[in-house]
Amino acid sequence: MKLKLMGLVATVAFGALSAGAQSLNGAGATFPNPIYSKWFAEYAASHPGVQINYQSVGSGAGIRQASQGIVDFGASDGPMTDQQMSEAKVKLFHIPTVLGAVVPTYNIPGVNAELKFSGDIIADIYLGKITNWNDARIKAINPGVNLPDHQILPVYRSDGSGTTYIFTDYLSKVSSDFQQKVGKSTSVRWPVGIGQKGNEGVAGMVRNSPYSFGYVELIYAVQNHMSFGVVKNAAGKFVKASTDSVTAAAAGAAAHMPDDFRVSITNAPGAEAYPISSFTWLLIPLQSADPKKGEVLKDFLKWMLANGEQQAPALTYAPLPKNVALKVAGAINYLK
């Protein structure tokens, strides 16, 4: 009798595990890929039978695939536009996960100094107005640095990219010329430079190309031991990207977060705010095609708030502000 009871318990347990077994597929932003990879692996390890696969293919691809229902969820560093949301076959909700920074990175042989940049200088490099490293405007804010008389090689993202959205959103705010000629989007027509796919591609190109200049998410610069500059913020102070300076950028927006969580925090006010900061979002169906997958997504989001956020600083991301996390917790209940 005891053996039969034990066998029954084992059968029931195996049946419950099998019923709960789910494989979810997501795609999108490269910006948060390092922390998403960690989160999805840890969540799966603590939830037997669940596997979350994520393709780091860029925000543009993530929006397209999630909107068409090709994947179970998407990810983007740039919020979807009203037009994208209205045209989507699958109605998606933006769930902010962490905050990060985009940094200007460079490779100048013989220069080990931490360079300063202003938004108008960065904009004019990508507009082709500033072409040499020893340009008078770069030298003026970097006194004492022996900048070479050598042409700058601008590097940009060739794929649809949330990192590009954040970067161009910032540049459009600080340079009317950039706003008119290039504008903000996940994919823009760059006047000069060379394109590379993904944060990984831009980081690799800058790291291996003398006299180059690019933009990547902070963790890619840190992991690749790349030089990156400090940037002049809206208060006129040069600030280095860090979890603290990104958190400072989010402070104002967090107090007035819209219900759909689509918000920009580039060029935020505050003396300590890093100006090229942003939330990044998971794009979750309001109603999943498979209810069981919808339940797993909801459970993962709750796990993320309870367990994942505290891991953010170790990977150079900033966790959600407490009031935003509370608002996200409430929004999760409306997902199906």
Check whether residue 280 and residue 314 sit in a common domain. yes
Spell 27-61 as b/e; 16+ CB within 10 A means b: bbbbbbbbbbeebbeebbeebeebebebbbbbbbb
Structural domain for 308, as ranges: 24-99+276-332
Share of the chain above pLDDT 70, in %: 94
Higher pLDDT, 26 or 224: 26
In a domain, 46, yes or no: yes
Q: Please state, rounded to an integer, the average pLDDT across all residues of the chain.
A: 90
Check whether residue 194 and residue 85 sit in a common domain. no
Q: Can you give the pLDDT at residue 12?
A: 31
Band of residue 22 on the pLDDT scale cut at 50, 70, 90: confident
Residues 29-41 have pLDDT tens digits of 988 999 999 999 9
Mention every residue, 6+ apart, whose C-beta is less than 8 A from residue 135: none
d(CA 1, CA 140) in angstroms, rounded, equals 87
Q: Can you give the pLDDT at residue 20?
A: 56
Check whether residue 51 and residue 66 sit in a common domain. yes
Q: Tell me, what CATH number does 146's domain have?
A: 3.40.190.10
Check whether residue 124 and residue 174 sit in a common domain. yes
In a domain, 269, yes or no: no
Q: Can you give the pLDDT at residue 16?
A: 33
Mean pLDDT of 269-296: 94
Check whether residue 200 and residue 135 sit in a common domain. yes
What is the number of domains present in the chain?
2
The answer on pLDDT for 69 being more than 50 is yes
Check whether residue 105 and residue 164 sit in a common domain. yes
Check whether residue 243 and residue 105 sit in a common domain. yes
Q: Can you give the pLDDT at residue 159?
A: 86
In a domain, 13, yes or no: no
Angle value at C-alpha 219, between 160 and 175, nearest 5 degrees:
55
Mean pLDDT of 142-152: 96
Do residues 189 and 160 make contact, with C-beta atoms less than 8 angstroms apart?
no
Band of residue 11 on the pLDDT scale cut at 50, 70, 90: very low
Mean pLDDT of 297-312: 96
In a domain, 236, yes or no: yes
In a domain, 71, yes or no: yes
Residues 153-164 have pLDDT tens digits of 999 999 878 889
The secondary structure of the chain in percent helix, strand, coil, rounded to multiples of 5, reads 45, 20, 35
Q: Can you give the pLDDT at residue 51?
A: 95
d(CA 65, CA 46) in angstroms, rounded, equals 28
Mention every residue, 6+ apart, whose C-beta is less than 8 A from residue 236: none
In a domain, 10, yes or no: no
The answer on pLDDT for 14 being more than 60 is no
Do residues 96 and 75 make contact, with C-beta atoms less than 8 angstroms apart?
no
The answer on pLDDT for 13 being more than 70 is no
Check whether residue 83 and residue 105 sit in a common domain. no
The answer on pLDDT for 4 being more than 90 is no
Check whether residue 197 and residue 226 sit in a common domain. yes
Band of residue 3 on the pLDDT scale cut at 50, 70, 90: very low
